[in-house]
Each structure stands twice: as structure tokens, then as C-alpha cells.
Amino acid sequence: MNEKTEEIIGRIKEKYKAIDQNPEVHLEGLVWAKPITYWDYILPDALLNLQVQRTTEPDEMVFVMYHQINELLFKMILWEINQVSDSEEISASLFTEKLRRISRYFDMLSSSFDIMGEGMAKEQYMNFRNTLTPASGFQSAQYRLIEFSSTELINLIDYRFRATIDRNTPYEHAFEHLYWQAAGKNHETGKKNTMLVFFEEKYKADFLLKMQKYNTTNLWTKFKQLPEDVKNDAELIKAMRHYDYTVNVKWVMAHYEAAGKYLGKSEATGGSDWRKYMHPKYQRRIFFPELWSKEELENWGNDV
């Protein structure tokens, strides 16, 4: 046995002894382990079996798969954000690296949205959408988690109620006043529509926990805790603004335009007053408001 092999075996012994395991049993296990293959590791067979149509329209497959691609990228984004959130003390270079990765993923989501806008025959879309009511992309839980983990809760509260909410407001109350509640509530009676009711039944309990978790660990709070010179670094500020604009204007507009192409004057499957709800100039969701000038804030979403 050469020196390198001995050193590795020493480390294996240490690792398993530390968890009260017999290292020899684990080494013996290696004798029987299957050699790894691409298909056992990446699991394409499982992944490629997750696309199930509800209709006979072939373009429905584009719709299903592109949503799934979005969910995979949302997961990659949350993976990076959580490394920032879960670190006790984050270095400036790690923060910047993670932020750039997160931005690149969102750039990809924005620039690929044509797959929806140009990707499906309108007649086919109008046929398969009828089988999807009352579901909506609105019900993507990961999208909401990206919001909770990117900014302070106050920046996600509906403008009309911001003055009534502060750091001492119970999470439950804040939840009822999140900006996206407007998409699912009758604005006169306050009654929630079926899309929102189903969404809350499935995810509300988890969302309340995550709101609490990210209250002190979201990207914006973490950024504010960086040393003064880092916070003022022009490149980092540029990267923060780029992320904010990509998520809250570029992606939103790519989505809005695709929706416009298919829906025209029709009602959305989720049932919102979507033209009003989705446009950034009305929604005004901004993750890092202090990084924008007064004028930029006033004109948010007007330049698109």
C-alpha cells in the first residue's frame, strides 16, 4: 500500500469512527457497490417520465416542460440563496459570487420566455387551457420562496396596507396583506377565489415558517450587514440592481407579454384581473428599494 492509499484509509477510519461506525464494514461495502453510470446518477429516465399531458394537443407538452424547466431553475436559485441565508457570517466575495449565480439563472428565465410567447399555437393553447382552470403559475411555491428569501417582508406587502404593518406585526396578518393576495381576492367583498384557497391549503403553513426564517436572513438583510466599503462597492450595487430589475421588471414583462399574446381580452385560468395585477408599474414589487433613486422608484415599470 502506498503512502497516499494509507492516508486515505486513515481518513476513512476517522470519518466512520466519529459516527460510531465500523470503517471495515464500509470499506467492504465498496467491494459490492455498483459502478456508477450517467443514468443512475442524473436519473434521466425518472426525469423524462414526469411530463404528463391532460389533452391531445401536442403543444401542451411545450407548456408543461417549460414550466418544469422554470421550477428546476427556481430550485437552483433557492439553492444559492440558502447558502447566503444559512451562513452565520458571509464574506463579501461569497455574497457577490452567489448573487451573480442567482442573477445568471434569472437572466436565463427572462431570455428564454419566448419559448412560451412564440412556442405554442394559439388555438391549441386555447383548447388545453380549459382543462387547467382554476390552476395558475401563481401557485408556484418556489416562486414565492424566492420572493421571501430575496427581500424584507415589508417590500412584499400590498402598497395600500404598508402603513399598517411593521416588524411587530404577526406573520399571519402580514401574510393576508402580501401583494399577491390581490390576484386571488374579490376587491369588493374580499372573498378569496378557488385558486388562492387551494394554494393556501397546500402551502400557507410552510410559508409562515419560511417568512419567519427569511425575516432575518433574506438577501437584502444580509447585504445590509456587509462591511460599509463592500456595501458601497459599485460592482456589487450594479449586480444587486441587475437582479432586482431582472426579477421584477424583465421577467415580469416577458411573462406579461406572453400572457397578452394568448389571453388577449380573455380571463386568466387563475381568475385574476391579470392586466392590472401583473404589470410592474401597478405591482411595483421592488426587492432592494434603497438601491434606486427617487426618480427610478417613481418610474418603476414605466420604461417597458
- Residues forming contacts to ligand HEM in the complex (CB under 6 A) are 66-67, 70, 116, 136-138, 140, 143, 180, 183, 255, 258-259, 262-263, 268-272, 274, 277-278
Output the smallest distance, CB 247 to ligand HEM, in A.
10
User: How far is residue 284 CA from its own chain's centroid?
Assistant: 18
DSSP 171-236: HHHHHHTBGGGGGGB-TTT-PBPHHHHHHHHHHHHHHHHHHHHHHTTSHHHHHHTS-HHHHT-HHH
Taking the mean position of all CA atoms in its chain, how far away is CA 75? 7
C-beta of 90 vs 156, nearer to ligand HEM: 156
Closest separation in Å from C-beta 262 to ligand HEM:
5
The number of beta carbons lying within 10 Å of the beta carbon of residue 304 is 14
- Of 98 and 144, nearer to ligand HEM (C-beta) is 144
CB of 117 to ligand HEM, least distance (A): 7
Tell me how far apart the alpha carbons of residues 262 and 251 are, in angstroms, rounded to a whole number: 17
Q: Which of 265, 299, 259 is nearest to 278 (CA)?
A: 259
Residue 63 Cβ vs ligand HEM, minimum distance, rounded to whole Å: 7
Residue 85, all three cell numbers = 441565508
Cell of 16: 466512520
Nearer to ligand HEM, 108 or 263 (CB): 263
User: Which residue number places its CB atom closest to ligand HEM?
Assistant: 270
Residue 90 Cβ, how far from ligand HEM at the closest point, in Å?
A: 27
> Residue 166: which of 149, 153, 180, 181 has the closest Cα?
153
Based on CB atoms, which residue is closest to ligand HEM, 35 or 190?
190
Q: Which is nearer to ligand HEM, 95 or 138 (CB)?
A: 138
Contact 114, 57 (CB under 8 A): no
Minimum separation from the CB atom of position 220 to ligand HEM (A):
18
Which CB, 95 or 113, lies closer to ligand HEM? 113
